[in-house]
């Protein structure tokens, strides 16, 4: 069992596929993520910041899976 897909299924049972497809993180979130990435590239990110980058990447992966599945539901 894939834990990511379990979460994707949960998202899609509690949100309409159209809402999932329209979801976008705020500019503030994007800016914060890219600031962390810049710090990592420059070798000045803390371990906590590196872990946050990984968390952001995991959430992005989950949302891509959710959006792919939402597209299937939206076209049924």
Q: Where are the domains of the chain?
A: 3-74
- With a cut of 70, list the residues of the chain below it in pLDDT: none
pLDDT of residue 69: 92
CA 1 to chain centre: 20
**pLDDT one-digit tens code per residue, 40-57:** 999 999 999 999 999 999
Residues 59 and 11: beta-carbon distance below 8 Å: no
Per the CB < 8 A criterion, the answer to whether 49 and 39 are in contact is yes
Backbone Cα Rg of the chain: 15
């Amino acid at each position: 069992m894939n834990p990511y897909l379990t979460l994707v299924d949960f998202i899609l049972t509690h949100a309409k596929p159209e809402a999932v497809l329209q979801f976008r993180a705020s500019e503030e979130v994007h800016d914060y993520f890219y600031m962390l990435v810049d710090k990592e590239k420059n070798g000045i990110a803390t371990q906590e910041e590196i872990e946050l980058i990984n968390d952001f990447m995991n959430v992005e992966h989950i949302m891509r899976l959710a959006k792919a599945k939402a597209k299937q539901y939206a076209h049924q």
